[in-house]
Chains A and B, each alone.
Chain A
Amino acid sequence: MKVIKHSFDGVIVGAGGAGLRAAIEAAPHMKLAVITKLYPTRSHTGAAQGGMSAALANVEEDNWNWHAFDTVKGSDYLADQPAVDILCKEAIDAVIELEHWGLPFSRLDNGKIAQRRFGGHTVKEGTSPAFRACYAADRTGHMILQTLYQKCVSMGVTFFDEFQVLDIKIEDGICQGVVAYELATGDIHIFETRAVTFATGGFGKIFKVSSNAHSLTGDGPGILYQKGIPLEDMEFYQFHPTGIYRLGILLSEAARGEGGILRNKDGERFMERYAPSIKDLAPRDMVSRAIATEISAGNGAGPDSDYVYLDLTHLGAETIKKKLPDITDFVRTYVKIEPIEEPIPVQPTAHYAMGGIPTDVNSRVLSDEKGTVLPGVYAAGEAACVSVHGANRLGTNSLLDIVVFGKRAGQSMVDYVTQTKPNQLSDNASIDLAKKITNLIEKEHTNEFSVAKIRKDLQDSMEENAKIFRTKETLETQTEILEELRERYENVTIYDKGKVHNSELVEAIELDYLLDMSEATVSSALARNESRGAHSRQDYPDRDDTNFMKHSFAFKNENSANLKYRDVELGKYEPMERKY
């Protein structure tokens, strides 16, 4: 196996919105490399649709404090309020900056950036839905990804495309570099570097029905978790209410922001019963629970009564064509119905990890629940947990998160690199990864222990036992299943023994991360005896502020996780009952 060594001041792992934004900040100040297992423009930021919120007040009176109130309330009071203030305050400049870099936002007649309504965003702390989401039709994420990549091209940022980072080297508690696998050749590359940002995105592939790309396997969180770094708030996983039935392909909340309505099999607008004031624009956790409740009450549509309808038929062809072109095309392509004329079958789909690698507000990774900083390691975007989303993220706040905290990760890298001297990493750094790869190549393939079979059983069982509604019983069942799957994984084998684009080998290693993410999720969920935001325990239906106003920190331990906790940082908003 060929080993190639590189030396950089800083390395960014992942080239979605957070990674690229960090790169733009860091590149002028250091020798920087961005490493991505895809091509940058293939990153899943590009699949985000509806918008990016900022209190620009282009349509109506708005104020970043109201945005912060909504974010905290939406988080079911688990978000750290000082971090939320940063997110909402810096949102305004972040949007303007993207516009200056060329982002083609949709425009109002007066030429300003257009803004639309979105779930959980209100004016004056809950009075009525707010026009706060800045958008570019229903492909806002695509435009952000393209604009950030274009900016990187103009700056001459160095990319290693289709290189997959699979190991980090930390010596004496300090980052020394990362080790990557080059997909096109099978070579190992050692990146000697003292500052690393993980911006690898989420891990929605732990579930069967998911809006996430195949590539979202939790690589960054997995790499750190295996080195003893905890993962924060893993029990909080968001299910987006409107995935295309069975496929899970996302249909943006913008559809409801523009006036779309959810209906059960009888055509009833059931959200009126669950959130009387803002109805279909309630936050995602509530809408997903409402759909699941309708379905289990027998109000679902279709032969298996297992979906509801997203009705856009009253919006008119013009609005749909102008404002929702992509998602209505998805419906035509994958469901073969005309959304201008017929309601769309939808069901909740695994969408977004509120939890992830713990960081402070400067995107510095924390190595324990006490807040100890791990020198030289940063994380941003969905891979990270600041926490600004708490127990439930509001729509549009993820695009905001990636630019605000991606930028901060870049700044922190610059601070660290200017204060430290270049390090040296031994050639032995490749040994652990080389061993892992050799094991997989040398082990004889058997169908019984194929990657796909273990992964399918993982996704099916997580879907069954750890999705929207959970109980002690389902979570204990899943814990046992995960133990079995872990045992099977110890014997995992691959058929492809080649060096060039051996994606089966990579999928085998990614499956290890998916198992880690599932174990941390289930352990954290089992220990949280309350319902808060996206975490719904049917055996503990109420929020318990006395015992659980705290973030969980899951540390890897054989087949489960050891849990520790850290208090939520409160601010001006006192926890209250969450009603809409």
Chain B
Amino acid sequence: MDVSIKILRYDPESDRKGHWENYIVDAEPEERILDLLHKIKWFEDGSLSFRKSCAHGVCGSDAMVINGENMLACQVLVKEVGNSLKIEPIRGLPVVKDLIVDMEPFFDSYKKVMPYLINEKEPGDRERLQSPEDRDRFEDTTKCILCAACTTSCPVFWTAESYVGPAAIVNAHRFVFDSRDEGSKQRLEILKDVNGAFRCRTAFNCTSACPRGIQVTKAIEDIKRETLLNN
């Protein structure tokens, strides 16, 4: 079937601002949106730029706005979104070219929350023990692939890029609730800041946007509660 695709294009070498371009692509209902973008790039217009790698929703390269919602282009099939598509870059990060945004501010926020295990104790020569129940407490937030779909769907982030954003909080959560970690105090101190977890207004956009099904808003609430309990 024919799918009509409108893409918000921007080339910093020739455009002053973004403009829409229309393409018609012959596609099967089972094809991924990423496959359609490839058809345009490979056989029609080689200058169309977007990120991609694994093509099955685990590397986090190809988050974009498809018909108004944040999605991974490789995780959505034509039959789910219909034959009329509007594709834009994710919002709130500077557009570099076409569907490619500058990810540096996003990764800077991620690094701010100390996203690594902190435990100064000598662990010995075998594994630290952890019960399945303790392991389950942070299972959900280990799934994050840093695609930025959550952060760039957040209305607070759109207006205040100083806000660390949902993805950074998710990655703090992954360690704060890990029974092996001893760095929570420092992390929660960072997240107590004016640009931390309390900036969240529970819009739930992040939860709907997460391609890994992480309960992002719940994770942010967990962190808020933990911060209050720690005070």
A347 to chain B, nearest CB (A): 15
* Chain A nearest Cβ from B102, distance in angstroms: 8
> CB within 8 A of A143: which of B11, B56, B96, B142?
B142
Is B132 in contact with A107, judged by CB distance below 8 angstroms? yes
B59 at the interface (CB under 8 A from A): yes
Report the Cα distance A105→B174, complex, angstroms: 13
Say yes or no: is B42 at the interface (Cβ < 8 Å to chain A).
yes
In the complex, chain A residues whose CB is within 8 Å of the CB of B145: 41, 46, 142
A99 touches B127 (CB 8 A): yes
The reply to whether B146 and A150 form a contact with Cβ atoms under 8 Å apart is no
Query: Looking at the complex, which of A109-117, A293-301, A519-527 is the stretch in contact with chain B?
Result: A109-117
Q: What distance in Å separates the Cβ of A158 from its nearest Cβ neighbour in chain B?
A: 13
Contacting A at CB under 8 A, from B115-154, are 115-117, 123, 125-132, 135, 138-139, 142-143, 145-146
Q: Which residues of A contact B30 (CB under 8 A)?
A: 334
Residues of chain B lying within 8 A (CB to CB) of residue A498 = 11, 13, 47, 97
The reply to whether B128 and A99 form a contact with Cβ atoms under 8 Å apart is yes
Of the listed residues B13, B46, B115, B139, the one surrounded by the most CB atoms of chain A closer than 10 A to its CB is B46
> In whole angstroms, how far apart are the Cα atoms of A496 and B107 in the complex?
29
Interface-forming stretch among A416-424, A499-507, A538-546, A552-560? Answer: A499-507
| Contact pick for B103, options A39, A142, A150, A494, CB 8 Å | A39
Q: Is B86 an interface residue (CB 8 A)?
A: no
- The residue from B56, B128, B139 contacting A47, defined by CB atoms under 8 A apart: B56
Q: Whole-angstrom distance between the alpha carbons of A184 and B94 in the complex? A: 13
Identify the closest chain B residue to A38 (Cβ): B53
Within 8 Å of chain A (Cβ to Cβ): is B70? no
The answer to whether B111 and A153 touch across the interface, beta carbons within 8 angstroms, is yes
Say yes or no: A42-B129 contact (C-beta < 8 A), given A142-B58, A501-B97: no
B residues within 8 A CB of A213? 53-55, 59
Residues of B within 8 A of A334 (CB): 30, 32, 56, 77
Contact of B180 among A102, A184, A496 (CB under 8 A): A102
Chain A residues near B47: list those with CB within 8 A.
Answer: 495-498, 502, 504
| Residue B26, interface by CB 8 Å | no
Within 8 A of B (CB), among A142-175: 142-143, 146, 150-151, 153-154
Task: Count contacts on A: residues with CB < 8 A to the other chain.
Answer: 62
Q: A101 interface residue, CB < 8 Å from B?
A: yes
The reply to whether the CB of B199 lies closer than 8 angstroms to some CB of chain A is: no
A150 in contact with B126 (CB, 8 Å): no
A263 in contact (CB, < 8 A): no
Task: List B contacts of A260 (CB < 8 A).
Answer: none
Shortest beta-carbon distance from B176 to chain A in Å = 13
Q: For chain A, residues 170 to 189, give those with C-beta under 8 angstroms from any C-beta of chain B.
A: 184
Partner pick for A150 among B100, B107, B117, CB 8 A cutoff: B117
Distance A101 CA – B127 CA, assembled complex (angstroms): 10
Q: How far is the CB of A164 from chain B (nearest CB, A)?
A: 13
Does A199 sit at the interface, judged by CB under 8 A?
no
Residues of B within 8 A of A146 (CB): 142
Residues of B within 8 A of A143 (CB): 142
Q: A102-B181, A500-B13, A501-B97 are in contact. Are A107 and B130 (CB under 8 A)?
A: yes
Which residues between 175 and 214 of chain B lie within 8 Å of chain A, taking CB atoms? 175, 178, 180-181, 213
Q: Give the secondary structure class of B's interface.
A: loop
- For window 325-341 of A, CB contacts with B under 8 Å fall at 326, 329-330, 333-334
Please state if B56 and A102 are interface contacts (CB–CB under 8 Å). Answer: no
**Interface residue? B75 (CB, 8 A):** yes
- Does residue B166 face the partner (Cβ distance < 8 Å to A)? no
Tell which of A38, A42, A107 touches B131, judged by Cβ atoms closer than 8 Å: A107
**Residue B165 lies at the interface, judged by CB distance under 8 Å to chain A:** no
Known: A498-B13, A500-B11. A153 touches B116 (CB 8 A): yes
Partner of B42, one of A111, A247, A451: A451
The answer to whether B227 has its CB under 8 Å from any CB of chain A is no
Contacts A104-B178, A142-B145: A214 and B96 contacting too (C-beta < 8 A)?
Answer: no
Judge whether B6 is part of the interface by a CB distance below 8 angstroms: no
Partner of B126, one of A96, A214, A326: A96
Check if A136 is an interface residue, CB within 8 A of chain B: yes
Judge if B41 is at the interface, Cβ distance under 8 Å: yes
Quick check: is B217 within 8 A (CB to CB) of the other chain?
A: no
CB pair B43–A42 under 8 Å, yes or no, is no
Per the bound structure, the CA–CA distance linking A107 and B178 in Å amounts to 13
Q: Which residues of A contact B125 (CB under 8 A)?
A: 93, 96
B109 on the interface (CB 8 Å rule)? no
Contact with A along B23-52 (1 / 0, CB 8 A): 000000010100000000111011101011
Q: B57 at interface (Cβ–Cβ under 8 A)?
A: yes
Please state if B131 and A501 are interface contacts (CB–CB under 8 Å).
no
Q: Is A215 an interface residue (CB 8 A)?
A: yes
B107 to chain A, nearest CB (A): 7
Tell yes or no: B92 within 8 A of A by CB: no
Alpha-carbon gap, A215 to B52, bound state (A): 8
A residues 44-58 in Cβ contact with B at 8 Å: 44, 46-47, 56
Residues of A within 8 A of B178 (CB): 102, 104
27 residue pairs of the A-B complex, CB under 8 angstroms, read A39-B103, A42-B59, A47-B58, A99-B127, A100-B128, A102-B178, A102-B181, A104-B174, A107-B131, A108-B132, A136-B142, A139-B58, A146-B142, A150-B116, A213-B54, A214-B52, A249-B55, A330-B56, A333-B75, A333-B77, A334-B32, A445-B46, A452-B43, A499-B13, A500-B11, A504-B41, A504-B47
11 extra interface residue pairs, beta carbon distance < 8 Å, beyond A106-B132, A334-B56, A500-B96: A39-B61, A41-B59, A44-B59, A47-B54, A93-B125, A104-B138, A107-B129, A111-B130, A150-B115, A334-B30, A498-B11
